[in-house]
A = this chain, B = another copy of it.
């Protein structure tokens, strides 16, 4: 009994109508011309057979699928990334769109090729796309929605810079003037780390504070303490550490604890992201929390608006970012 899956033709036969009628009924055709009794016969037949339309057939006929491609830079997926992707997926699903994430890893097919293969409806990206990719997409008639650029979008780089600024604002308000900036070891994270560090630098410059001292936090736990010790020796005037994100902050915090450095008495620490575990460190970590659902909702709205040819409304920063003061500052 391992039959094939039912097609709309099966439904048509079952309901005693033509295939076209089935299609009109199931798609709620705008110029509704099907009588109510017929409608019900078709719907009943479809339910009885467990009919589910083939997306392949529909895509071929329509010329495009309902897939939206999210272009992600090649970054190791962290807590926040997955929460964000999850939220975008849900927001788009509410519009009948399916999100597929494309990680720009060297081995993967290039973005325009994948977009063509999937007959995607649109391509979303957090950062401006390379001109070559944009041109390739335009050439095949695919809309690119660069959420990371322009004034109406959730300008990603600006948001990242804002996070850095907020870190400095909080530290400056509590009297710190000599800062260090803790960078992650993985070079692929520089797409995010760069703008955040820029925000910190700019905020320092605005306040006429000396530029923050950069230092890298190694991935290897046993090397972290040595890196922190080196920082304290090289830049003894530093009283606070801005970390790239909470994970880097927690690693640095561990190094400080190993060295029995008083936190926040001797050195204050602040992170970004607001991951759940930041509440459980010793001492609990002060951080700039990101509301991924709010950011994702906006990205999704922006995408839908652009697909409809409208302009999206800017997202208020307060909805997405806020300070969680805890015990490390």
Contact A56 B60 (CB under 8 A): yes
Contact A116 B276 (CB under 8 A): no
A79 CB within 8 Å of chain B? yes
**Chain B binder among A32-40, A278-286, A294-302, A308-316:** A278-286
Contact B138 A2 (CB under 8 A): yes
A140 CB within 8 Å of chain B? yes
A112 to chain B, nearest CB (A): 7
Please tell me the number of chain A residues within 8 Å of chain B, measured between CB atoms: 54
Chain A residues engaging chain B, CB cutoff 8 angstroms: 1-6, 50, 52-57, 59-60, 65, 77, 79, 82-83, 86, 93, 100, 107-108, 112-114, 116-119, 136, 138-142, 219, 221, 224, 247, 250-251, 253-254, 257, 276-277, 279-282, 284
CB closest chain-B residue, reference A115 = B52
Contact A247 B276 (CB under 8 A): yes
Q: Pick the most buried of A118, A119, A282: most chain B CB atoms within 10 A of its CB.
A: A282
A235 to chain B, nearest CB (A): 22
Which B residues touch A54, using CB under 8 A?
60, 116-117, 119
> With A and B bound together, what is the CA distance between A59 and B141 in angstroms?
22
> With A and B bound together, what is the CA distance between A47 and B40 in angstroms?
50
Contact A5 B140 (CB under 8 A): yes
Give me 7 other A-B pairs in contact (C-beta within 8 A), A50-B136, A254-B284 excluded.
Answer: A3-B140, A54-B116, A77-B83, A250-B280, A257-B282, A277-B277, A281-B282
